[in-house]
Amino acid sequence: QITLKESGPTLVKPTQTLTLTCTFSGFSLSTSGVGVGWIRQPPGKALEWLALIYWDDDKRYSPSLKSRLTITKDTSKNQVVLTMTNMDPVDTATYYCAHRRSFYGSGSYQGYFDYWGQGTLVTVSS
């Protein structure tokens, strides 16, 4: 059974750095094709993909946020950490981590998010 859970501060001040941890179980991030991603959702707004780390340590970032994001993994602890610098009130959102499953579709290996954490609300305010 795959589970993921996000943890981190609920309140950060503008300009501070946010550090979120995703602790998971039921899979290994050293298994080929596996990835863990971060997605956020401002109150009342749409989902926004932020970053993803693959089993081989390859990383992908949202082009619009790339300069502010860093994603890392600790395979031995079953954790993925996301840091976001220079936080602003517009970054107030629920942050989710999710398991990325690989599948072969339409002629290439692709991925989708089949298991999600419950999410953690981060408020940016002074």
Partner 1 sequence: QSVLTQPPSVSGAPGQRVTISCTGSSSNIGAGYDVHWYQQLPGTAPKLLIYGNSNRPSGVPDRFSGSKSGTSASLAITGLQAEDEADYYCQSYDSSLSGHYVFGTGTKVTVL
Smallest separation, CB 124 to partner 1 (Å)? 18
Query: What's the CA gap between 5 and 57, in Å, rounded?
Result: 20
| Residue entry with tokens 């596996």 | 34
Distance of CA 110 to CAs 35, 67, 79, 102, Å?
A: 11, 25, 23, 6
One residue of 1, 10, 106, 126 binding partner 1 per CB under 8 A: 106
One residue of 42, 105, 121, 125 binding partner 1 per CB under 8 A: 105
Position 85 contacts partner 1 (CB under 8 A): no
One residue of 8, 9, 33, 111 binding partner 1 per CB under 8 A: 111
| Residue entry with tokens 């609300």 | 121
Position 49 contacts partner 1 (CB under 8 A): yes
Query: What's the CA gap between 9 and 121, in Å, rounded?
Result: 9
Strand partners, 94: 41, 121
Position 90 contacts partner 1 (CB under 8 A): no
CB-based contact 14:88 (threshold 8 Å): yes
Position 103 contacts partner 1 (CB under 8 A): yes
Position 48 contacts partner 1 (CB under 8 A): yes
Residues that bind partner 1 (CB under 8 A): 37, 39, 46-49, 52, 60-64, 96, 101, 103, 105-108, 110-114, 116-119
